Structure 1
Amino acid sequence: MRKKLVVGNWKMNGSLARNEALVAELRKLLRPDGVDVVVCPPFVYLSQVKALIKDAIIAVGAQSLSSAKEGAYTGEVSGSMLADLGCSWVIVGHSERRSGYGETNVVVATKVQAALDSGVRPILCVGETLEQRDAGVAEEVVGSQVDAVVSALGVEAASFVVLAYEPVWAIGTGKTATPEQAQAMHAFIRDRLVRSGVSAQGVKILYGGSVTAVNASLLFSKPDIDGALVGGASLVAEGFSAICAAAAAS
């Protein structure tokens, strides 16, 4: 039985005051029994959020990292720096990083390896665009994204990676894959891992893409959906807490 995991990706949002208010509300509302909860604020707020969480059962993650360990990489943040701040998770390969910053499958694989080398658990994002889905190549695209990481890491290391299936056409659009569409791709990803030699029954696969308190229960009822990577809804304590409650109840 895989324990559900809900991750809040704050993206480039927040301020010292807003973060303090949001975490205070989360501490009141969250009842994380039966579900693991992670919040991923921007780099500059990691220390603040870590301090605010205190004894709450919420982990802190980052939104990206460099593939390099240290050196002349202006503006970059390494996995060891994240670990030094108490981050236990990091999002890697989000579609916004792939499309906006040119992160290829090869780059994403090196970042996943860098995270593991630093003791930070990577959440690998995979997903297809609407054009790719309409062209009938969604599985081919997602499969290649998964294969690149398994090939680079090896099957043993790949079993420690959490995956997040995010159809690009559903991120921030209000559109959501139907529970059946999401389950079909999650099952495909798990089968792809198994065919690659990964012991995949214990691997968590999250769904991301306009997840809300309204659709969360239906998504979490599917056998291969192990939680959610939540964007905008993670900035509203009541909505994010409701998603976490749905995960705990599933």
Structure 2
Amino acid sequence: MGTVPERTLWVGVSLKMYFSHARAASWCAQIAEIARTHPATAGPDAPVKLFVIPSFPSIPAALAVAGDAVLVGGQDLATEDVGAYTGEVSGAELAELGCRVVEVGHAERRRLFGETEDVVAAKTLAALRNRLAPVLCIGEADVADPEAAAAECIRQIDSALSLARESGIGGQIIVAYEPHWAIGAAIPASDEHIRRVCMLIRAHLDASSDLSQAAIIYGGSAGPGLLTSIGDSVDGVFLGRFAHDASAVRSVLDEALALPAAGSPRAAF
């Protein structure tokens, strides 16, 4: 594992269902090459942890090129580890392949596929019991002031972790703040809104004994340039379509490397 630096930053990318398998494999190879040589991610003591989340069929191709510089994850997982669940993919299988992270509770899963908070809690538990770090997606549905938005986000975090806490199962948590109204928007939420909400969420995480080592990253139309503006309030960013050009990922890693090493230590793989 190496010595964890004072501040570990996270940069993640979800490809959703935008790429063909061939394009995803090529993109992952480009990202892996960037990660192997970029000072932000190269080496066991690198200050940035980079993770990529392709669609399920492209996970093996991503793992084949990832090496030690890139963590690979799944965009979803089943609530159960084995059984007659046609079309589902379990956390146990993702972990067996070599995945280290998995998205849980994305706004599109909630909206398009009817995932309830009970389902999100069950999937969070499934991730943790299989030693996968849940990228726990939370966010307010409608535009609200930062205090109200943070209160809703904190409620979602505690709800998602309810079953894991009851079971006494913990692990690395990556909280991805994505205001639902900002996902896919031309521009993200204002820097001031993001910073204030994330600072309030950070205070809640730090006050929770089982979450003090959790990371808080920002998604929701995040792209190059944003981390420089909000880097004092978050532990990284979760990129979407702005990362389809691999050079944008390099730019974000440049930004992450330029941020001061500040704040309390965060856990890292």
Partner residue in 2 for 1:72:
84
Is 1:179 the counterpart of 2:191? The answer is: yes
1:35 CA displacement: 0.5
The ranges of structure 1 where at least 4 consecutive aligned residues each deviate by more than 6 angstroms after the TM superposition are none
Q: Greater helix percent: which structure?
A: 1
How far off is 1:63 after superposition?
Answer: 0.6
**Runs of 5+ consecutive residues of structure 2 not aligned to the other structure:** 1-5, 260-269
**Which of 26, 49, 60 lines up with 1:21 in the alignment?**
26
For structure 1, the residue ranges without an aligned partner over 5 or more in a row are none
Task: Report the TM-score when normalising by structure 2.
Answer: 0.83
The equivalent of 1:41 in structure 2 is: 54
- The match for 1:84 among 74, 77, 96 is 96
Q: CA deviation at 1:123?
A: 1.0
Give, as a single letter, the amino acid of the residue that structure 2 aligns with 1:243. V
Separation in structure 2 between the aligned mates of residue 239 and residue 210 of structure 1, nearest angstrom: 13
Q: Which SS does the other structure have where 2:162 is aligned?
A: helix
Identical aligned residues as a percent: 33
Q: Does residue 118 of structure 2 align to residue 114 of structure 1?
A: no
Distance, in Å, in 1 between the alignment partners of 2:194 and 2:255 is 17
Give the aligned length.
245
CA distance in 1 between counterparts of 2:68 and 2:204 reads 36
Structure 1 counterpart of 2:262: none
Secondary structure of the residue aligned to 1:113 is helix
Q: Deviations over 1:21-51 (max 9, x none)?
A: 3123223433124211000000011111111
1:110 is displaced (CA, Å) by: 0.8
**Counterpart-to-counterpart distance in 2, 1:135 and 1:164:** 16
**2:155 is aligned with what amino acid?**
S
* Normalised TM-score (structure 1): 0.89
CA contact (8 A) 1:186 1:225 kept: yes
Verify the 8 A CA contact 2:222 2:242 in the aligned structure 1: yes
Cα gap change, 1:135/1:154 in structure 2, threshold over 3 Å: closer, same or farther?
A: closer
Residues 3 and 34, structure 1, Cα contact 8 Å, conserved in 2: yes
In the TM superposition, what is the alpha-carbon distance from 1:135 to its structure 2 partner?
Answer: 11
